[in-house]
Structure 1
Amino acid sequence: MRRTRLTHAVLAALLVLGGSGAAGAASAAATGATTPAGVTASPGSAAEPASEGVLIAMQRDLGLTRKQAEARIAAERAAAALDPKVRRAAGNAYAGSWFDAAKGRLTVALTPDVPPGARRVIEAAGAETRTAAHTARELDAVKARLDRLPAPSGVSGWHVDPTAGTVVVDVVGKDRSDNDVRRFVSRAREAGPVTVRTVSAAPRTFAAGTVGGDPYYTGNVRCSIGFSVYGGFVTAGHCGSPGAGVSGWDGSYIGTFQGSSFPDNDYAWVSVGSGWWTVPVVLGWGTVPDQLVRGSAVAPVGSSVCRSGSTSHWHCGTVLAINETVNYSQGAVHQLTKTSVCAEPGDSGGSFITGDQAQGVTSGGWGNCAGGGETWFQPVNEILSRYGLTLHTYTG
C-alpha cells in the first residue's frame, strides 16, 4: 500500500514478528516494545547505535560528522541509562539533570545539603555534578502553581529549567506589555523562582487541511501517524475525537479513534484494520533510509532528537525542556517535551526518536522548516500508560 519502499531490515523484522500487524501505509513510524506502562528494559543495541536515517539527519541538522553523530548517540544512551540511577542516589538533594553535549556526559544538579557520599557515588558513576539552590521537587511545585493560573494568549508556556535552577515563563514579544500578561508574570514571580523569556511567536498545533502528501486523514484534517502499537497506532489528540474514522493517503479506511485527549493532554490512539498493518520502523520519506526502533528509553534534556512527519519529513535538533506546559489557543497542554526541531502543518502526531529510542508524538510549535522554530511532543510512554498499550519493536 505504501509508496515508500521498506528496507531489507524492515522486511526481516516482519518475518521475525510473523505479521502481527497494525498501522499501515501512511504510517510515519513504529516503535519498540515496552510494557504497557513503562520503558523497555534495554535502551538498544550497543553494536548499532542508530539506523542510517538518524545518522544522516543528525549530520545535516546538527552539523556533525558521522563519527560525531555516532559518538553522541552512544553518549546519550549512556546518559539515559544513568539518569534514573543518579536521581535515586541524590535523593532529596536532586535538583535536575541534563545531557551536556559539549562534554558528552550527564550533568546532575545537587543542593548544598547533599551527603558527600551521594555526590561521590554520582561522580564515580560517570556524571558531572553542579550545585543548585532549589531542589527539583521545589521547582516542580512552582510550576504546578503556575499550572493552576489562567494564562492569557501572550504567555506561550512555562517549564522547569534544571540548567538555570528556575521556572522559565515564555512570553510572546509583542504581547509583553499587555496587562493580562504582566498580571500573569507578577503572580508567577510570587510563586517562586521564575525567569521570564521573550519568544518570537505563540505555539500552534500542526494539523492541516486536506492537501497532497503521505498522511492519514480524519474529516478534512491531515496528521501523521506516530508509533505502532498492538492493534493500532498512537498520534496527537488534537487530530481527532473518539469514534472518528481515519483514512489513509490513498483514501482507504484505516480504522477509528479509540481514545483521545486535547487540551490538557495531546495524545490519542487509533485502532486499525481493513488490511492495514504496522511495522517497527520510522519512515525516511525518501530523504533518509527507513529505520528500526528498539525501545522507548527517555532521553534527558540536551540529547539529540529527530522527527518524522508527513509534510516536512526528517529533521533533527535537541531536547530543550521536559514537563512543559504549553498554552495553545485551544487551552493549556501539560507535560510536553520541548525541542529545537522544526515542524509544519500536517506533521502533527508524527514520531520523535533519539537514536533508536521512541520519544513521543508531535504536538505543536512555532516557525517552520525554512526559517526554523521550536516544537513540542507528547511523551510516548505516557500514552502507553494511559491506554494500556504495547509498542512494537524490532529485537533482531
Structure 2
Amino acid sequence: MRRTGLKHIGVTALLLLAGLSGASTFPATASGGETPATATPTHRTASAGLLHAMRQEFGLTEDQAVARIEAERSATALEPKARRTAGAAYGGSWFDADTGRLTVAVTPEASGATRAALRTAGAAVRVVEHGARLLDAAKTRIDKLSAPSAVAGWHVDAAANSVVVTVVRDGLDDNDVQRFLTQARAAGPVTVESVAAAPGTLAAGTVGGDPYYTGNVRCSIGFSVHGGFVTAGHCGQAGAQVRGWDGSYIGTFQGSSFPDNDYAWVNVGSGWWTVPVVLGWGTVSDQLVRGSAVAPVGASVCRSGSTTHWHCGTVLAKNETVNYSQGAVHQMTKTSVCAEGGDSGGSFISGDQAQGVTSGGWGNCSSGGETWFQPINEILSRYGLTLHTY
C-alpha cells in the first residue's frame, strides 16, 4: 500500500535486509487447509516486538515466549506428518501450551508401532473413541441443516472428540434451537457450548484509520499477493472499486464470495504496490511474511486491523461453520483474538506465517470476545494466487 512505501520506507528497507539473512521463502499456493509440504518453518530468532506482544498477551517471560514460539513452529511442522502417520486412525491434533507439544488423537485401531512413531516424532498421543473422518462427516451432515439465528456455529473439536455446537446463551431454551440440536445429535457425536453473543461481520462505515474503502464501507487489507491483496468477501462484490487510506484509487475486487465463504481479492495499480509485511501499528515491529504454514489448534496467533490495530490470542478451532445473519460461512478458523468494526479483511499471522483474513466475531477489544478468519491457503487456491513473501 502507498503509505507503507512512503512513510515506512526506512522500516521496510531494514526489514528487507533482515529478511535476506538466512530466511527461507515458502511457496504459498496449497489446497484446502493442508500445509504445503515445503512450507516447514525454519529456526529464527523472534523479533523484540513479537516477544513483547507474547509477554503482554500471555503473561510470559521473554525466555518463555521464545520457548513457546519455537515449540509452536515444531508443532506446525509436525502436524501434517502426524496426520499421515496415523492414517485412518487419526482423530485430530492440537498444540498444548502447557507441555509445549503437539497432541495427536488416535482411535483404538492405531497400532502400537503407529503410536510409537508419533511419540518418537515428538507428539503426545491420546486414544479417543471417534476418528477425524467420522467427526468431519457428522459436521458435513450438520452443515446441511437450517440453523436458527441463536445457533452461532459448529466445528469439530479434536480434544473434545465431538462436534461442538455453539449457542447464544439467551437462546438455549428456544424451541427452534432445541429442534436443531436434536437433529445435530442424530448426525453424530455433539457437545453443546454457550456464548455471550452471536457473531457478526466486522465491516464499518467511513471513519479514520489506516483502511481501504469500497463505497461507504471500511475494511482492512489482509495479505499481499502478486498483483494485489486478499481480504474479506463481505467487504465488496466483484467489480467494486477500492480506494486507499488517502482516498486514491487502488483497483477493483477481482473476485468475491460471501456468504458460504468470506474471501476476496483486489488488484493493485495506479501507483500502489504490494509488500510482504503486516503492520504492527507501533505495538510491535511490522512483521515480515515468509509463508503460510498452518498453525495448529492451541497455537498463538495475532491479528492486524485498521480499527483495533494489533491483538493476539490462540487458535481455538478449525473448519467451523459460522452462522452469520447473512448466511452460514464454512471452513472458518476460530480464535480468542478480539476485533471490532473495520477490522474485517485484516491479517491473521502466527510468527511469520500467514494464517488468514479476518471475517467476523462477537465482543470487542475492551470486554473481550472471539473472532473467526478465513484460511489464507483456501483463498490462494481458489483464485490461483501466490502469496508475496520474503
Conserved? CA contact 1:101–1:302, under 8 Å: yes
1:324 aligned to which of 312, 320, 325 = 320
Query: Residue deviations 1:169-219, cap 9 Å, x none?
Result: 001011111111111011111111101111110000000001111100000
Give the equivalent residue in structure 2 for 1:208.
Answer: 204
Conserved? CA contact 1:7–1:289, under 8 Å: no
Following the alignment from structure 1 to structure 2, what is the Cα–Cα distance between the partners of residues 10 and 250?
20
1:47 aligned to which of 36, 39, 44 = 44
Following the alignment from structure 1 to structure 2, what is the Cα–Cα distance between the partners of residues 83 and 136?
14
Following the alignment from structure 2 to structure 1, what is the Cα–Cα distance between the partners of residues 227 and 30?
16
Residue 269 of structure 2 is aligned to residue 273 of structure 1: yes
Which aligned pairs between 1:206-285 and structure 2 lie closer than 5 A? 206-285=202-281
Counterpart secondary structure, 2:64: helix
Conserved? CA contact 1:257–1:271, under 8 Å: yes
Counterpart secondary structure, 2:284: coil
Query: Size of the alignment, in residue pairs?
Result: 380
Query: Residue deviations 1:265-295, cap 9 Å, x none?
Result: 0000000100011111111112221111111
Following the alignment from structure 2 to structure 1, what is the Cα–Cα distance between the partners of residues 47 and 230?
22
1:351 aligned to which of 347, 351, 356 = 347
Report the alpha carbon displacement of residue 15 of structure 1 after superposing the two structures with TM.
8.0
Q: Counterpart amino acid of 2:27? A: T
Conserved? CA contact 1:326–1:336, under 8 Å: yes
Give the equivalent residue in structure 2 for 1:37.
Answer: 30
Following the alignment from structure 1 to structure 2, what is the Cα–Cα distance between the partners of residues 168 and 36?
30
Identity, % of aligned pairs?
A: 70
Which aligned pairs between 1:13-32 and structure 2 lie closer than 5 A? none
Residue 50 of structure 2 is aligned to residue 61 of structure 1: no
Residue 136 of structure 2 is aligned to residue 137 of structure 1: no
Conserved? CA contact 2:197–2:362, under 8 Å: yes
Counterpart secondary structure, 2:3: coil
Report the alpha carbon displacement of residue 334 of structure 1 after superposing the two structures with TM.
0.2
Counterpart secondary structure, 1:314: strand
Following the alignment from structure 1 to structure 2, what is the Cα–Cα distance between the partners of residues 231 and 129?
43
Query: After TM superposition, where is structure 1 displaced by more than 6 Å over at least 4 residues in a row?
Result: none
Conserved? CA contact 1:317–1:341, under 8 Å: yes
Change (3 A) 1:33 1:245: farther
Counterpart secondary structure, 1:2: helix
Report the alpha carbon displacement of residue 346 of structure 1 after superposing the two structures with TM.
0.3
Residue 175 of structure 2 is aligned to residue 193 of structure 1: no
Change (3 A) 1:119 1:366: same
Q: TM-score when scaled to structure 2?
A: 0.94
Following the alignment from structure 2 to structure 1, what is the Cα–Cα distance between the partners of residues 26 and 264?
18
Which aligned pairs between 1:163-202 and structure 2 lie closer than 5 A? 163-202=159-198
Following the alignment from structure 1 to structure 2, what is the Cα–Cα distance between the partners of residues 45 and 86?
18
Residue 95 of structure 2 is aligned to residue 102 of structure 1: no
Conserved? CA contact 1:348–1:362, under 8 Å: yes
Following the alignment from structure 1 to structure 2, what is the Cα–Cα distance between the partners of residues 98 and 56?
24
Residue 111 of structure 2 is aligned to residue 115 of structure 1: yes
Give the equivalent residue in structure 2 for 1:161.
Answer: 157
Conserved? CA contact 1:43–1:294, under 8 Å: no
Report the alpha carbon displacement of residue 36 of structure 1 after superposing the two structures with TM.
2.8
Q: Counterpart amino acid of 2:290? A: R
Which stretches in structure 2 are left out of the alignment for 5+ residues?
A: 20-24
Following the alignment from structure 1 to structure 2, what is the Cα–Cα distance between the partners of residues 81 and 9?
30
Following the alignment from structure 1 to structure 2, what is the Cα–Cα distance between the partners of residues 379 and 142?
21
Following the alignment from structure 2 to structure 1, what is the Cα–Cα distance between the partners of residues 53 and 377?
24
Q: Counterpart amino acid of 1:137? A: R
Q: RMSD over aligned Cα, in angstroms?
A: 1.8
Residue 305 of structure 2 is aligned to residue 309 of structure 1: yes
Following the alignment from structure 2 to structure 1, what is the Cα–Cα distance between the partners of residues 30 and 75?
22
Query: Residue deviations 1:74-93, cap 9 Å, x none?
Result: 10110011111111111111
Which stretches in structure 1 are left out of the alignment for 5+ residues?
A: 18-31
Give the equivalent residue in structure 1 for 2:22.
Answer: none
Change (3 A) 1:53 1:236: farther
Give the equivalent residue in structure 2 for 1:29.
Answer: none
Q: Counterpart amino acid of 1:44? A: P
Report the alpha carbon displacement of residue 13 of structure 1 after superposing the two structures with TM.
5.9
